[in-house]
Amino acid sequence: MTLKFTLLFLPLLAHIVNSQQPTTFDIGKYGGKPNANIAEALSSAWKEACAATTPSTIVVPKGTFLLNQLKLVGPCKAPIELQVQGTIRAPSDYTQLPDKNAEWITINYVDHLTISGGGIFDGQGKEAWTKNDCGKNPNCVKLPINLSFNFITNSIIHDVTTQDSKNFHVNVIGCKNVTFQQFTVSAPGESINTDGIHIAKSEGIYVLNSVIKTGDDCISVGDGMKELHIEGVTCGPGHGISVGSLGKGATEEDVTGIYVKNCTFIGTQNGIRVKTWPSAPAKLKITGLHYEDIIMDNVENPIVIDQEYCPWNQCKLDSPSLIKISEVTVKNIKGTSASPVAVSFVCSKTVPCENVEMGDIDLTYSGTQGPITTKCSNIKPTFVGKQNPPICANATQSS
């Protein structure tokens, strides 16, 4: 492009950019006030912004605002941004929610959504955690998720925090091309069932340069997931980054293309983990799992494949998992294990793990429970580079 053409083109470009400057919808103009419920104000602002034919920004200014429950639905006519600069707080008593079967904040069917602003979504979950018995009681009370995204496309959530959710912090279902960047999850290690980001039945999801501190999986992957990219994430406290648990539902869909790179786990229960249920009907496939350049800092179970996942004795181990795990690479994993079993591969007797490649593993253990070791069954990995400790030296293969 010549300089003359560029100079002629710049005013036209400036006109295009200026004509697309977003219209601002401040919730204060709709009656939103600090320390008061802003559900009606946010709903009204969303309705107008979503109907706009040019880009729009809904602003929750600095300050503390209350919100009993909210559902925002598209499609919208143009790109839309929810800019949260302040703190939005949920009721601490989950029984106060108008719809007991819904989440705290739900956003559905929106293309080109942005959530930003540096603010906090505070679920005030401490009271609810003490009453959570869902691990042992199948008829337990359903607790609300902080942020539920359903059928969102071409969107980004960045520079905001979800704090102390009563249940999962974020649930992503049926979404495509969505990025979480510089996103923060904050909850204590003892908070129950507070997965940071749960993602299922979605494609092209990115979690980048984010910090997740919680009481359950930092990121959990459900069925039907394709192309998930996790990079630059710091996890801990928490239960690690997990594919699964999978297998309980007969119609569960395949999982493929999970990439975890340049991540750090600090004091977590697990590092990278895959978990499937035995004695379960699902026959889906888990393929294309790639883990690379990961630091483990005092992690109890750094590398895990567990196809006998059965918490609280909710199942029987007599019937192996029917889920096939294959095409897995684990490369350049360094750091310290908090237990002597640094690597545990417990694969299915019926469908053993296949095409698992391990490269340059360097994990140490300085505890008093014995020498560092690995546990392997129904798997024959291949190796590249050095392995410390020696992996699967005493592996068993069921006939």
Residue for token digits 């984010």? 210
Rg (CA), the chain: 23
What kind and span of H or E run contains 6? helix 3-19
- Backbone phi, psi, residue 261, to 5°: -140, 145
Which residue type is seen at 106?
A: T
What is the DSSP annotation of 111-151? ESEEEESS-EEE---HHHHTT--TTT-TTPPPPPPSEEEEE
How many of the other CB atoms lie within 10 Å of CB of 257?
A: 16
- Decide if 198 is catalytic: no
b/e map of 23-40 (b: 16 or more CB within 10 Å)? eebebbebebeeeebbbe
Catalytic residue among 15, 112, 169, 239: 239
Distance between CA atoms of residues 162 and 72, nearest Å? 18
Its sign, for the CA torsion 17, 18, 23, 24, is: positive
Distance between CA atoms of residues 55 and 113, nearest Å? 10
List Cβ neighbours of 16 (8 Å cut-off, separation of 6 or more): none
Residue in 242, 248, 326 with CA at minimum distance from that of residue 282: 248
By CB neighbour count within 10 A (0-12 exposed, 13-18 middle, 19+ buried), where does 138 fall? exposed
Distance between CA atoms of residues 296 and 276, nearest Å? 23
Q: Residue 75 is encoded by which pair of tokens?
A: 């499609």
Report helix, strand and coil shares of the chain as percent, to nearest 5. 10, 45, 45
Strands 373-377 and 203-208: unpaired
Instruction: Please answer whether residues 330 and 305 qualify as being in contact, where contact means their C-beta atoms are separated by less than 8 angstroms.
Output: no
Helix (H, G, I), strand (E, B) or coil at 12: helix
- What is the set of active-site residues? 239
